[in-house]
Structure 1
Amino acid sequence: MRLQAFLARAGVASRRKAEKLIRQGRVRVNGKVAVLGQKVGPEDLVEVDGKRVALPQERVVLALHKPKGYTTTRHDPHAERTVYQLLPTIPGLHPVGRLDRDSEGLLLFTNDGALTFRLTHPRYGVKKVYRVWTEGGTLPEEVCRRLLEGVLLEDGPARALACRPAPGGAFLTLAEGRKREVRRMLKAVGYPVRRLLRVQVGPIRLGDLPPGRWRRLSEGEVRALLRLVGLE
């Protein structure tokens, strides 16, 4: 396994950031400064900034129904509540993307850095489905068409892959994960969001998981995620 992939799998950083760590000379393999592209195996001693790094003994992927009012972070002095207060203690467990404090719904967690990188990188186009309720009520078909064609935000154009009107709002499907993207898109078309619930990430659905509860993904669900991003 290439060293940058090893570091990502160990949850140290994404592959791109792992490459930066290697170039900075902060990574050693068996006591020697590592080089980019170097291959390592289970018998090698890998250290970052002098601390040993090891692969997780077992890949873990959890689904959490994030309630409103919880911040997607481990430590934040300004956050009253964080999602980690709802989760079991598992080394290396981190969120796959984010939901802002006022949003609800499906949030995945894993200890597999490589899986996180591919699920969140725009290159892989992992679809996410949101149920939204807006101040303007049910989205008219013409507003859905505008969202499908794309709207201009301050950080560039954004468009929905699918939009279906629903009572009080709509179902939206996006493949990006820009900060508060759904909220900004709907505000741009004159329908500010009252409530936002993410119901699906790739093949994984929120289903009837109660707010504040988590579950471990089945082997079949994990295989589906790996297959989706070419890691199977």
Structure 2
Amino acid sequence: MRLQKYLARAGVASRRASEALIAAGRVRVNGEVVTKLGVTVDPDAERVDVDGRRVRLKPLLWLALNKPPGYACTRHDPRRRPIIYDLLPADVRHLPHVGRLDFMSEGLLLLSNEGDVVHRLLHPGTGIERVYHASLRGPVAAELPDRLQAGVALEDGPARARRAGWITPPHASTPTVEIVLAEGRNREIRRMLASLGVTLRRLRRTSFGPVRLGALAAGAARELSPKERAALRRAAGPACSRAVTE
């Protein structure tokens, strides 16, 4: 296992931040300072220390969080707003979030330290579906789902829904449309709707790939089942679908 991956799995820092720790000479393997990237370690046979303290691997873990609106997907918010890690028990706050939801969006957010699978899931080429329910200020044009599927021009390129359809009718005071995306661009649905002159009242993610939000309460988290974890690994591709020993 590469040393920076070991540090990330141990909850020391993200993989990129772990590389900086290594380059700064703050990491020792079997008592020897390591400053070169690419060094591999045997978790069962070698000792790793950071700033003089031994670090050990943490078990692979996947959580589903029902993020409420008004929480930032970050570890440190310069504006001192509430962050998603405020909602989690201390012993799982080391888990990186899988993608993000913007500050006022809500719903399913995954967290995991299984970095290789996370990287594959977030890669645009994997095409993992994210399902959202968007509640709008009505009434709106009945053809809105068709326009979302046809695509709109945004400043960072065209954007389109893989699928879209009404949950509640467009003539209601608060119509709701289901939107399925296969990518995770910043504030994509908000920008798509704004470009079409539609006012968004509430945006909630209900699924990410094979994982569903279900009846999980707002602000609550649960551990994914073995079946859900296996489904995510299959969705990430053949390289990630094998069983993982911990």
TM exceeds 0.5? Answer: yes
1:217 aligns with 2:224: yes
Distance 2:55 2:118 in 1: 18
**Structure 2 CA distance for partners of 1:108 and 1:139, relative to 1, 3 Å:** farther
**Structure 2 CA distance for partners of 1:131 and 1:20, relative to 1, 3 Å:** same
8 A Cα contact 2:98 2:122, kept in partner = yes
Deviation, structure 1 residue 123: 3.0
Distance 1:178 1:135 in 2: 23
Unaligned stretches of 5+ residues in structure 2: 169-174, 242-246
8 A Cα contact 1:137 1:169, kept in partner = no
Q: TM-score, normalised by structure 1?
A: 0.83
Q: 1:135 is aligned with what amino acid?
A: R
Distance 1:8 1:85 in 2: 20
Unaligned stretches of 5+ residues in structure 1: none
Distance 1:22 1:120 in 2: 25
1:140 aligns with 2:147: no
Deviation, structure 1 residue 174: 0.8
1:200 aligns with 2:201: no
Moved more, 47-56 or 19-28: 19-28
Q: Which residue of 2 aligns with 1:75?
A: 76
Which structure has the greater CA radius of gyration? 2
The aligned length equals 228
Distance 1:219 1:199 in 2: 20
Aligned-residue CA RMSD in angstroms?
Answer: 2.8
8 A Cα contact 2:148 2:161, kept in partner = yes
Deviation, structure 1 residue 156: 1.6
Query: For residues 28-47 of structure 1, what are the structure 2 equivalents within 5 Å?
Result: 29-30=29-30, 31=32, 33=34, 35-42=36-43, 43-46=45-48
Deviation, structure 1 residue 182: 0.9
8 A Cα contact 1:139 1:169, kept in partner = no
1:165-212 alpha-carbon deviations (Å, 9 max, x no partner): 221031011122121111001111221311101000110101111212
**Structure 2 CA distance for partners of 1:24 and 1:81, relative to 1, 3 Å:** closer
Distance 1:20 1:77 in 2: 24
**Structure 2 CA distance for partners of 1:32 and 1:20, relative to 1, 3 Å:** closer
Moved more, 31-40 or 90-99: 31-40
Q: 1:75 is aligned with what amino acid?
A: H
8 A Cα contact 1:8 1:112, kept in partner = no
1:94 aligns with 2:124: no
Q: Which residue of 1 aligns with 2:61?
A: 60
8 A Cα contact 2:165 2:177, kept in partner = yes
Query: For residues 144-223 of structure 1, what are the structure 2 equivalents within 5 Å?
Result: 144-167=145-168, 168-223=175-230
Distance 2:10 2:121 in 1: 16
**Structure 2 CA distance for partners of 1:170 and 1:115, relative to 1, 3 Å:** same
8 A Cα contact 2:8 2:113, kept in partner = no
Identity of aligned residues (%): 47
8 A Cα contact 1:19 1:36, kept in partner = no
Moved more, 113-122 or 65-74: 113-122
